[in-house]
Amino acid sequence: MVLRAARGRSNARIARIAREMGLHLDTVRRWRVRFSQGGLPALADAGRSGRPVRLTLVQVAETKALAWQLPAETGIPLSRWSCPSRPPN
């Protein structure tokens, strides 16, 4: 939406496209204000409260890939998995 505004699109057209994309107009408005006040650097992720990230993106991807495999395919004994090997009765 910011790029559309920078290209001179009207607010009405930007609002129509935002609705079609399922974006809330307040969200579009917030990002456009951030851009108008601070340019491209203002679009970077802001710092967040809470615990810092401890895993790298590669570690997250590896964990997800492992979780989608069947235990027999991993070579890891069933005793190391935290879920039962078959659903309860």
Q: How far apart are CA 10 and CA 4, in angstroms?
A: 9
Helix, coil or strand: residue 74? helix
- Give the tokens for residue 9: 């699109």
Q: How far apart are CA 61 and CA 55, in angstroms?
A: 10
Least confident of 1-5, 28-32, 40-44, 79-83: 79-83
Q: Which comes out higher in pLDDT, residue 86 or 48?
A: 48
Q: Where are the domains of the chain?
A: 2-43
Residues 31-71: pLDDT tens digits?
A: 888 888 998 888 888 787 888 889 999 999 998 998 888 87
Q: How far apart are CA 64 and CA 39, in angstroms?
A: 36
Q: How far apart are CA 59 and CA 18, in angstroms?
A: 34
How high is the pLDDT of residue 20?
A: 92
Residue 2 has pLDDT above 70, yes or no: yes
